[in-house]
């Protein structure tokens, strides 16, 4: 008998619910399918990559693509978690807008395929966005995670991955969006800072909030010390929440994100 844990990835984008099922065999082959009652606009059904699952070596795993621009500490947290089958997800690709960053090296050491697409190599930002969309789509991801990716995606990307593109930001949104969350928090004099995981939309750090974690601001904090303390909490939150999303599913209704 084949027993599959209650691990499906379910998302709703603008009120539509979908289930994403990726069956990965221990011999490396896989089969994937997506069911979307009502077929949400901009959601493209999977083409199965292999025969339907029938054997007893079946395990269930969502496919993740991670985008980054720097050292990849958030990626490393996900790589470590994904090394355990019980996590429920496999990182199938890592992309960056910068060559030679440590985040790409982390992925390569883990045997994960990588790619680099620099904005300046394309005639326009729209061309870059289209190329990024095509490259990420080639991995057939269930979720795409921005883990320190310092580029805003455009219309093409959000059309393809709307409701499935997550970002982790180092402030308690909606406070202090942008690239300098800890610095801005210190300048404002807040007593509590933290990190936010959210679903990316057309705005800047403005999408529906999935989860938040807090850290105290100490009297002697600098931007560097506060940033490092936030990173520790941010990594833990990213692993815990992405794991829950892929194992239990989630819905997005307006600005409310629910994980059963």
Would you please indicate which residues are annotated as catalytic (active-site) residues? 169
Bridge partners, 90 (sequence order): 63
125: its two tokens: 């930002």
Calculate helix-pair angle for 223-248, 73-82, nearest 10 degrees.
30
First to last CA, the chain: 27
C-alpha 175, offset from chain centre: 21
C-alpha 246, offset from chain centre: 11
Place of tokens 């621009």: 69
- Give the span between the Cα atoms of 118 and 213, in whole angstroms: 32
56: its two tokens: 């007893």
Query: In a 10 Å sphere around its CB, with 0-12 CB exposed, 13-18 middle and 19+ buried, how is residue 205 labelled?
Result: buried
Which residues are within 8 A (CB) of 161 and not within 5 positions of it... i.e. 6 or more apart? 133, 136, 141, 144
209: its two tokens: 């909030």
- CB count within 10 Å of CB 144 equals 25
Query: Do 171 and 197 meet the contact criterion of CB atoms below 8 Å apart?
Result: no
């Amino acid at each position: 008998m084949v027993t599959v844990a209650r691990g499906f990835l379910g998302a709703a984008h603008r009120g539509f619910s979908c289930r994403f099922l990726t069956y990965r065999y221990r011999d490396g082959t896989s089969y994937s399918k997506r069911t979307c009652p009502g077929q949400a606009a901009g959601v493209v059904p999977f083409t199965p990559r292999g025969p339907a699952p029938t054997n007893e070596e079946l395990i269930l795993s969502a496919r993740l693509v991670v985008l980054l621009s720097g050292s990849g500490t958030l990626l490393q947290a996900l790589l470590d978690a994904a090394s355990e089958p019980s996590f429920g997800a496999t990182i199938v690709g890592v992309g960056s807008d910068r060559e030679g960053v440590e985040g790409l090296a982390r992925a390569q050491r883990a045997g994960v395929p990588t790619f680099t697409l620099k904005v300046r190599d394309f005639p326009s930002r729209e061309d870059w966005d289209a190329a990024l969309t095509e490259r990420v789509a080639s991995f057939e991801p269930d979720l795409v995670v921005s883990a320190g990716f310092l580029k805003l995606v455009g219309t093409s990307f959000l059309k393809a991955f709307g409701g499935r593109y997550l970002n982790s930001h180092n402030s308690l949104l909606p406070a202090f969006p942008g690239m300098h969350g800890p610095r801005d928090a210190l300048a404002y004099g807040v007593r509590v800072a933290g990190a936010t995981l959210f679903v990316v939309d057309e705005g800047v750090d403005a999408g529906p909030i999935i989860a938040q974690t807090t850290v105290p601001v100490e009297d002697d904090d600098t931007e560097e010390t506060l940033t490092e303390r936030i990173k520790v909490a941010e990594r833990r939150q990213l692993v815990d929440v992405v794991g829950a999303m892929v194992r239990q599913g989630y819905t997005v209704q307006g600005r409310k994100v629910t994980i059963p």
